[in-house]
Structure formats: structure tokens, C-alpha cells
Amino acid sequence: MSWTLDPAHTAVAFSAKHLGVATVRGRFTKVEADLELDNPEDPSTARGTVTIDARSIDTGNEQRDGHLRNADFLDVDNYPTITFTVRSVEPDGDVYRASGDLTIRGVTKPVTLEYEHSGVVTDPFGNTKVGGTLTGAINRTDWGLNWNVPLGGGGLLVSEKVKLEIDGELAEAKEAVAESADAEAQATA
């Protein structure tokens, strides 16, 4: 079944170290998803693609955001989106491992993130919702995000390691519910 991302209840966040001592946190404010989930109780039935508008980066500092948007980092004029295409979700103890292809600046690399399933609920309006949190870390240089300044005592101005946290809520697409009901009715007719 098709599911839509609820942007009001979804956060795509990241963090990286500055000078090796302070953590700079940011987020992307515009994200969409084209996801299929056959069984909302079973995350291993998930597949699809999450698309992030790279221009929507927000670290709370417009000068820094401008630098992150330019060719030193995301190069949003040439690469306006970041995508994560889910290939598999497999149980691993109390959590799941979500493996897929992450594309940044036109470079696609496999990544595996930890997924914590928050469950399935029906909201006050009768809509089925499912949620969970993806976490992990990437080395930004693997995607050509190489800009940096070496520090006198060793180390770098900006860490190569970037931590990711994506907290999302999905809603069952209404047209998918209607199609499923129609198919069920035709099967029993």
C-alpha cells in the first residue's frame, strides 16, 4: 500500500562537529516520500524513496546555510535534491537495519541506518499512521563534500562524520485504501 509522509510530523536532522569541540545541528525543512508499506506492523515490508530539497537546509545561521548550499558543500544549483532509496529493512534484535542508496551531489553510495519502529495508530480522524526513527552516521567526503580547513594542532574545522536522525510519520494514502477496498470487493464478488 502507498503511504505519504506527514511533513508536519517529520524531521530530517543532522549534526557535525565544528573545531572538534562544538556540535552544529541542522535540518532540512522540505522532504517528500514515495513509499510502499505492505504491512505497517512489519517495517521489513517497506520500500520506496525519500527526497529532500537540498535548498531547505537550515542550521539557524543564514551565512553558514549559504555556504552549505554553495559548491563547497551541497552545490544545490546543480544538485537540488538528496535522495534515499530503501532497498531492504531487516530485523536486528529490538531494532531494524534499513539499507539503501543515498545520493548527494549526484554521488550514490550504499548506507545502512538503524530504524526504531514506533508503531501504528489510528488518529482522531480515522487515519492510519505509522512512525519511527532512522539514525546513523556518514562520512561526508564519500559524497564529494570535501571542503575543510586544517587546524594548526591537527584536526579539521568541520568534522567529516555527520550524524543523521530522521524521525517520520507516515499516513496511509487515501487512494490506496480505496483501491484496496475495491480490489477486496471484486475478489469476493
pLDDT of residue 189: 59
pLDDT, tens only, 58-102: 999 999 999 999 999 999 999 999 999 999 999 999 999 999 999
User: pTM of the predicted model, to two decimals?
Assistant: 0.86
Cβ pair 2, 175 in contact under 8 A: yes
Q: DSSP 3-state assignment of 29?
A: coil
Q: What is the total count of domains within the chain? A: 1
* Mean pLDDT over the full length of the chain: 91
pLDDT of residue 20: 87
Q: What is the CATH number of the domain that holds 35?
A: 2.40.128.110
Domain that holds residue 175: 2-188
Please list the ranges in the chain whose pLDDT falls under 70: 175-189
Could you tell me the three cell numbers for 105?
551531489
pLDDT of residue 7: 87
Query: 117-156: buried (b, 16+ CB within 10 Å) or exposed (e) per residue?
Result: beebeeeeeeeebbbbbbbbebebeebebeeeeeeeeeee
pLDDT of residue 166: 95
Q: Give the distance from CA 168 to its chain's centroid.
A: 8
Query: Residue 64's CB: how many other CB atoms inside 10 A?
Result: 16
Q: What are phi and psi of 153, to 5 degrees?
A: -90, 20
